[in-house]
Amino acid sequence: MRAYGSHDGAPCDGAGEEDAVTAEVPPLRRPRGAARALGFRRRSADPAVQAADVRASEPLAPATTAPIVLAGRYELRRVLGSGGEANVYAAHDGLLGREVAVKVFHSRVAPPDAGSLERVEARVSASLNHYALTTLLDAGIDEGPEGRQLYLVMEYVPGEALNERLRRGPMTPADACWLGFDIAEGLDHMHQVGFLHRDVKPSNILISGLRSARPVVAKLTDFGIAARVGEPDLSEFTTGTAAYLSPEQVEGLDAEPASDVYSLGLVMIEAITGRVVFPGSVTRSAFARLDRDPEIPEGIPPRLADLLRRMTARRPADRVGLYDLAVELQQILVDMLLELRPGGAAPAAEPPVVDGPPQQASAAFDAALRLLLGASGATAAIALLGDPAAGQTVAARAGAATASPEGLPVLRAARSGAVLVEDAWQDRDLRAHPLVLGGGVRAVAAVPLQNADRTVAGSLVLLDRAPRAWDDAARAALEDTAALLVADLGLRRAVRRALSLDD
């Protein structure tokens, strides 16, 4: 599925230059005994051939001047992109008064009364909810003068596809890292929900044209060939685009989460160099990665070069995971920010803080604690900063708590790992604390806010008014929230370090 937009009125090619249909080369047997023939489901690599095929099969825009309105609601206004399977239109939602993108499938490809691949696409899209993934708003079958038409309604993203952006020249390494961070976050969400994308490429990445404090804001789109994680691919042909397939896909093996990581690595290298990593014909491009690793761009930070190598390792087991990838990209971006400041690279020692304490809470703390409460079902969540032995301060809290947890004996024990107390009344050290005596707290769970260098920045505490056994889900929510808070603290400390170099 694509969601499209253009801030300057230029159309976004709905099928991109490297999109695929069944490859227009004789099917080739895969090496190493692979069972499936090398074919690609989506479209020809030649944009002229593809455009001619589409023009010959269906018009790109309505033949009459009267607007086409789907479901009595979506007025199609202009073509944003087209391909062998569907046309994508900029449209106006008359009911809610907003701009949307509507993907209308050709009836010969997706008969509205058949259980087609596009319906699977709609189900995949409806399962996803992430800022870096385009959002499905509606789906249906229109009974209009053009006959029965299957359509999907997506968010409209003002901007352009990455392949269009790269026609103006390559990105800086920092911009490529911003892009990689967004897409890594989106893919990680997809994988956690249970789906593989399998077609990560420049034409399926949208660069938002809306003004932002960040130089690049990216969204992943087109879930038409997404598949469930771990589900075997029983089709005869490989799905995906030759230039961005992982080695295991080329060999005829099933895609896995690491396959999406490999494809993203190729996209990031292309963004930095402005050149496709494995160019050439479908066959030449696909098999090239079995013989050689991608060439890493020269002149980029060594840490980024190493990360790109780990993203594009030939063995899936050697590739970096998406969570670690996102964290490392954040750290690389901070390093780049410091190097751009007067005075050069960041000093080895922590410089004096400009103003305020070195660690303080942010709005992110409050949001994270509210999410933690919802996930754990506890009464209150409290984040503290500082050393339990030398004193701590409450940085943020959510839920009802009549007293502060400073001085709780469990906080010192929690410096080395999670501490879970099912009933504080049965704990000799806890039952005299004001939270338990006067606040009615019965259950306590605490984990450290531990920095990457193993130092402890504080504690994260869950409180409940009823005795409870802390199950795996509650513990996981607590530990995940602690990791988010530590990441937020680290980023803001790094920004303060960068700002201090201006003094």
Query: What was the pLDDT predicted at 307?
Result: 96
Q: Are residues 488 and 444 in the same domain?
A: yes
**Average pLDDT of the residues in 42-56:** 34
In-domain check, residue 59: yes
- List, for residues 307-336, the tens digit of each pLDDT value: 999 999 999 999 999 999 999 998 898 888
137 and 196 co-located in one domain: no
pTM given for the model: 0.58
The token pair that represents 460 in the structure block: 């994260």
In a domain, 5, yes or no: no
Q: Within this chain, do residues 165 and 139 fall inside the same structural domain, yes or no?
A: no
Q: What percent of the chain has pLDDT over 90?
A: 25
**Predicted local distance difference test score (pLDDT) of residue 218:** 94
Element (H, E) at 92: strand 86-93
Per-residue model confidence as pLDDT tens digits over 155-204: 898 889 999 999 999 999 999 999 999 999 999 999 998 889 889 999 99
End-to-end CA distance of the chain: 49
In a domain, 19, yes or no: no
- 179 shares a domain with 104: no
H-helix or E-strand spanning residue 391: strand 391-399
> Is there a domain that residue 10 lies in?
no
3-class SS of residue 125? helix
Please check whether residue 2 lies inside any domain of the structure.
no
pLDDT value at position 26? 31
CATH number of the domain bearing residue 328: 1.10.510.10
The three-class DSSP label of residue 187 is helix
The average confidence (pLDDT) of the chain is 75
Asked if 146 and 217 sit in the same domain, the reply is no
Ramachandran quadrant class, 97 (left: phi over 0; alpha: psi -120 to 50; beta: rest): left
Residue 376 lies in a domain: yes
Give the total number of structural domains in the chain: 3
Same domain, 150 and 166: no
Answer yes or no: do 234 and 220 share one domain. Answer: yes
Q: What's the DSSP call for residue 90? A: E
Q: Are 168 and 14 in contact (CB under 8 A)?
A: no
The pLDDT of residue 65 is above 60: yes
Active site residue 199: yes
CB atoms within 10 A of CB 416: 11
For residues 392 and 463, membership in a common domain is answered with: yes
CATH of the domain at 42: 3.30.200.20
Give the domain extent around 265: 160-340
Point out which residues pair with 273 in neighbouring strands: none
User: Which pair of structure tokens corresponds to residue 107?
Assistant: 């009836």
Examine the fold and report which residue of 140, 155, 170 is the final residue of a domain before the chain moves on: 155
Q: Do 207 and 300 share a structural domain? A: yes
Please indicate, yes or no, if residue 22 is contained in any of the structural domains: no
- Annotated active-site residue in 199, 233, 464, 488: 199
Domain boundary among 98, 128, 155: 155
Instruction: Kindly report, residue by residue over 87-139, the tens digit of the pLDDT.
Output: 889 999 999 999 999 988 876 655 555 455 455 566 677 778 888 998 888 88
* Identity at 454, one-letter amino acid code: R
If you search the block for the tokens 């607590």, which residue do you land on? 478
- Indicate if 290 and 368 belong to the same structural domain: no
Same domain, 301 and 414: no
Q: Are residues 208 and 329 in the same domain?
A: yes
Answer yes or no: is pLDDT of 293 > 90. yes
In a domain, 192, yes or no: yes
> Domain boundary at 292, 325, 340, which?
340
CATH label of the domain that carries residue 472: 3.30.450.40
Higher pLDDT: 407 or 100? It is 100
- 450-489 pLDDT, tens digit per residue, is 887 778 888 888 888 888 888 888 888 888 888 888 888 8
